[in-house]
Amino acid sequence: MNIFLIPYTWYRHLQFGIWSALCGLIAWWFYLLILTQGWMVWTAGWDAFVTNGLMASTVVFGNIWGEAALRRWTMRRRTWKVLLGVGVALGISLFMTWMWAAVAALSLEDIGSVHHVVALKYRWGNLVGTGFAAAMGMLTAEKWRSRPKSFVANYILGGLFAGLTAGALWSISAYYWGQNLYWAGAVLFVSFGFTFGLSTRTIPDDLYVGWIRVLKGARFGHRIPIDAKEDKPKERFIGAYPNGLDLFFPVEEMVQPLHASIVHEPNQNRYTLRGLTQHHLKMVRMLEWARINYNPESPVPMEVTLSNEDRLEMGDEVQVEFLILPREER
Amino acid sequence: MWALLFVILGCVGTPDVVPIPDTTARIDAVAEVNQRQSELKLHIMTDPEDCVYITEDSNEYLAEQEYNACLPWVDRQAGEIKLGVRFELDDQFYQLPDLNDNISVSLNDRQVVDNASESDVRVVGHKPRRISQLFVLLIDGSASMNTKDSGSSKTRMDKVRDALLMRSVQEAFFPDDPKVINHVLVYTFTSGTPQPLGGELRVLSNKRAYRTLIQAHLRARAGYTHLYDAVDYGLNTVLQTSEVQSLLDGQTKPTLVVLTDGFNNEEARDTCISNVPRLQDLLGKIRKEMDDFAVDTPLIFTVGLGNPLSRRFNPKRVKIGRVSDRELCAGQSHNKLIDAPGNQIGFEDLFIDNVSLELIADRGKGRAFVEKDAEGLGEAFQEVAAIRYEWFEVMFRDNALKFRREFNVGLQLNNYARAVSNVNIYPHAWMDGPHGPKDSEGWSTRGTIWHSASILTSGLGVLLFLLTLGAALFNVKRLAMGRLHKSRNRMGNQQKNP
C-alpha cells in the first residue's frame, strides 16, 4: 500500500479490498502448504478454528499493516497494533468456532457436528464468526476518538457481510465451478479478504489534500496546496497581486488583483471556490459548468463546491485545475 | 494462553490418523483388518513409512515413482481414491498375481460397481516377482474331448494341446529366469484314478521334455468324467507322493490346474442333482486342506472348455457346506441326464459346469476360467503361472459428492484367498489440495504444491496490477486530456515556473 499509487478517485475505495484479497491469497497458499506437506499436526476438530482464525487474522493483519504503510507508522506502533488486532481476532475466532459447534450440536441434525462435512448449511455460522472476529480485531486496533459511532456498526456489518459472501462464493465454487475445494479454498480466502476490505475500509481522506495547479498561462505547472491543519478551515487566494496572495498570475494574463479564493473545510473535507471578481470566472467539469463572477448586487460572493480535477477559467487566458493529491506530495 | 489452550485441547482425544501427503485429507493410521473373514492380511499402506519400506530396494528413480504410487491419494474433483495395499501371511509378504477384477471395493459398505462410467475400479500390481511353482495339470481325457464343436475343425483335445504348446504358455511354465525353478506334472483323468501322461509319473523341468510329452501322449481316451475325484486325487494323493514332496522346499508353490469340457459324470444315470452331495464332499475336503493356509498350501485353478452353464454365478454367495440343487443346476431341469444316450441331448452336450469349477477354484484360492478356443485356454494357463506382485495400487472412482464427509473404504480380495480390510478417510471440510494431470487411462495423478504456487504467483500478479491500475488510469486519463504537457497549451507562453 503506497499512498502515491492511490489517486483520489472512486477506485481508491477498492484498494483495501484488493490489498486484503492479496493477503488472503498468500494465506491460502501457506495454509495449503501446511495441509499438504504433512504439517497438519492438529486434529480434525480444530480444522474450523485454524481455517477461520487464519482468515480473520490474515485480513486484520493486512488491513492494519496497510494503514500503517499509508500513515508511515513506526515499526513499533505497527507491530503492537498488529499483535493486538490479530490476537483479538484469533481469540474471538476460537470463541465463535466453539459457540457455533455448540449451536450446531443443539439445533442441527447429527451431521452438523461432524467436522468433515462440506456443506454451507453447517458452516455458515463459522464464516459469520470469522467476519465478526475480523471486525473485532480491527476495532480493537482502531483509534476510537473523534470517530463517528457508526464506524463500529460499519465494521461489524462489514465483517458479517464478508463472512456470508465468502461462504456463498465458497459453496457455489465448490459445487458449480469445480466439484472440489481446491479452487473453492482460494475463492474463500480471497473473497473474504476482498469483501471485508471493500465493505469496512477506504483510504482515509485526511491523507489527501487539495491543490491548485496552473494548466494554462505563463506559470504552467505551478501548484499550491490548500492544506488545512488542526481541523480549522483554510482559504487560499488567487489573483494578480504579486505579493500577499497564495497564487500569483502576471497581470498581463488578465487575471484580476483578487480573482478568486478556495476554502477548505477539513471537518467536512469540502473545497469551495468563491468568485471575488466581476471578470470571467468559470468552473468546468464533465457535462457541468458554473459561472461564479462576483455579482455586485449580492451581499456575498458566489460559491461552488469543487471536485477532483475540476477546471477553473480565470480571465481570458488563465486556466487552473483543482486536484486532490496525497498530503505527502510535494 | 491461547496457544496453551490450543495445544491442550488439540492433544485431547487425538484419533489415530495421519495426513495423506499432497492432500488435505487424513486417513486412519492403521487400517482395520477383518480377522474373522481373512486368511491373508490385506494391509492398506496408510503410513508413508510403509511405502518407504517397500520401495527401499528399488533404484532411486523407480523408488520415487513407486513411493508416490504407494501413498494414499484422494482427488475429490475426479471422485477418485487410490490406496496402496499388500498381502501378508504370518507377517511375511504374500505375492499374488494380477488382481484386476479380483478386488472389490466398497464405499461406506456399498460396493463400487465397476461400470466404467460414473464408477470404476482399477488394480495395478507393483514389484513383479516370479515364484517357483510346481504345476500339476489334471486334464480331462474322457470321450467327450474327442468332440469337434460346430464351426471348428479341431477336437477339444486338439485345442487343449495347441494351448499347452503355445510358446507363451511354455514360457509361463518354464521361464528363463534362473532364480525360478518350476516343475510340471501332467495327468489325464476319466473314470477311476487319474493316470500320469505317458503311463508313468514324469517330473518335467524344461520346455523340451514338456513339449515332447504333450505332443507324444496327450490324447483323449474313453470313459466318464470323474472330475471331483480327480481334484481330490491331485490334492490328497499326487501332492503327497515322495517325488512331489521332495520338490516342495517351502518356497515352491504347488498349483493344481484342472481342465475339463463338461460335468462331473460318474455313471450313465447321473443328473445334475447327483453331483450335489459329491461336490459338497469335495469342497469339504478342499476346505480342510486350506484351513491352515500357508505359503506351501496348494492353489487350485480350474479351466473349462465350452459354454458356461450359469454366466452370472458368484461362488462367494454360496455358503460353506450349502451347495443347493438350484445353484448347481442353474435353474435347468434337475432330472436331465448329464450324458444322455443316443441322439438325446444331455447337459454335457450344451454346457460346461462352470458352477462346480468356480466353487472348486474359489475354495482352492485360485481362479476359474471358461474358454472356447485354444487362445483363451492359453491365456488361462499363462494366468495360472502368472507373475506375482508384491504390492498393489487399488484405484476407484465414484460420485464425487460422496466424498464430502468422512467415508469408509472397504477392500475385499475375491479370489486366491479371503482377505478383507477397511480404512476410514477424513477429508478436510474447507480445502482441497492440488490434483495433477490425468494419466493415459484417465486416472488423476498426484498433484504438487507447484500447481498452487503457479496460482499464487498469477493471482498476486493480477492483484498487484489491480492495486496500481487506479494510478495508471488516472495518469493516462490526464495525459489524454492534455493536462500534463505544456505543449498542448495553446497559449504558448514559455515563461518558467517560479
Question: Between the CA of residue A159 and those of A192, B50, B294, what are the distances in Å?
Answer: 9, 46, 65
**Per-residue pLDDT, B488:** 46
Of B431, B434, B486, the CB nearest to A220: B486
**CB neighbour list of residue B480: distance below 8 Å, 6 or more residues apart:** none
pLDDT reading at B111 higher than 70? yes
Mean pLDDT value of segment A315-326 = 87
Least confident of A17-26, A212-221, A267-276, B45-54: A212-221
Total residue length of chain B = 498
Optimal mutation site among A36, A130, A247, interface B, most CBs of chain B within 10 A: A36
**Distance in Å, alpha carbon of B118 to nearest chain A alpha carbon:** 14
pLDDT reading at B494 higher than 80? no
Of A7, A22, A35, the CB nearest to B431: A35
- Quick check: A67 contacting B, CB < 8 Å? no
Of B14, B433, B449, the CB nearest to A43: B14
User: Given its phi and psi angles, is residue B62 left (phi above 0), alpha (psi -120 to 50 degrees) or beta?
Assistant: alpha
* CB-CB contact of B284 with B269 (8 Å): no
* CB-CB contact of A255 with A314 (8 Å): yes
Give per-residue pLDDT as tens, B32-60.
Answer: 988 777 888 999 999 888 888 888 776 77
Using pLDDT thresholds of 50, 70 and 90, give the confidence band for residue A197.
very high
pLDDT reading at B476 higher than 50? yes
Give per-residue pLDDT as tens, A120-144.
Answer: 888 899 999 999 999 999 999 888 8
* Selected residue with higher pLDDT from A304 and B314: A304
Residues 95-114 of A with CB under 8 A from B: 111, 114
Give per-residue pLDDT as tens, B61-78.
Answer: 778 888 888 999 999 888
**Distance in Å, alpha carbon of A292 to nearest chain B alpha carbon:** 23
- Quick check: A186 contacting B, CB < 8 Å? yes
| Secondary structure, 3-state, chain A | CCHHHCCCCCCHHHHHHHHHHHHHHHHHHHHHHHHHCCCCCCCHHHHHHHHHHHHHHHHHHHHHHHHHHHHCCCHHHHHHHHHHHHHHHHHHHHHHHHHHHHHHHHHCCHHHHCCCCCCHHHHHHHHHHHHHHHHHHHHHHCCCCCCCCHHHHHHHHHHHHHHHHHHHHHHHHHHHHCCCHHHHHHHHHHHHHHHHHHHHCCCCHHHEEEEEEEEECCCCCCEEEECCCCCCCEEEEEECCCCCCCEECCHHHCCCCCCEEEEEECCCCEEEEEECCCCCEEEEECCEEEECCCCCCCCCCCEEECCCCEEEEECCCEEEEEEEEECCCC
User: Are B10 and A32 within 8 A, CB to CB?
Assistant: no
* Selected residue with higher pLDDT from B218 and B417: B218
User: Are A181 and B76 within 8 A, CB to CB?
Assistant: yes
**Per-residue pLDDT, B15:** 57
Q: What is the percent of chain B where pLDDT is above 90?
A: 26
Q: How far apart are CA A252 and CA A76, in angstroms?
A: 55
User: Are B463 and A178 within 8 A, CB to CB?
Assistant: no
**Per-residue pLDDT, A330:** 66
Please state the pTM of the whole predicted model.
0.77
**Per-residue pLDDT, B489:** 46
Mean pLDDT, rounded, of chain A: 88
Q: Which residues of B touch A220 (CB under 8 A)?
A: 486, 489, 491, 493, 497
Using pLDDT thresholds of 50, 70 and 90, give the confidence band for residue B323.
confident
Residue type, A89: A
ipTM associated with this complex: 0.90
Most confident of A158-167, A221-230, B111-120: A158-167
Mean pLDDT, rounded, of chain B: 84
Least confident of B79-93, B215-229, B334-348, B364-378: B334-348
Chain A residue closest in CA terms to B495: A218
pLDDT reading at B270 higher than 90? no
Q: Which residues of A touch B432 (CB under 8 A)?
A: 180-182, 184-185
**Distance in Å, alpha carbon of B107 to nearest chain A alpha carbon:** 16
Residue type, A311: R
- Quick check: A19 contacting B, CB < 8 Å? yes
Using pLDDT thresholds of 50, 70 and 90, give the confidence band for residue B320.
low
Chain B residue closest in CA terms to A216: B489
pLDDT reading at B497 higher than 70? no
Using pLDDT thresholds of 50, 70 and 90, give the confidence band for residue B295.
low
- Quick check: A219 contacting B, CB < 8 Å? yes
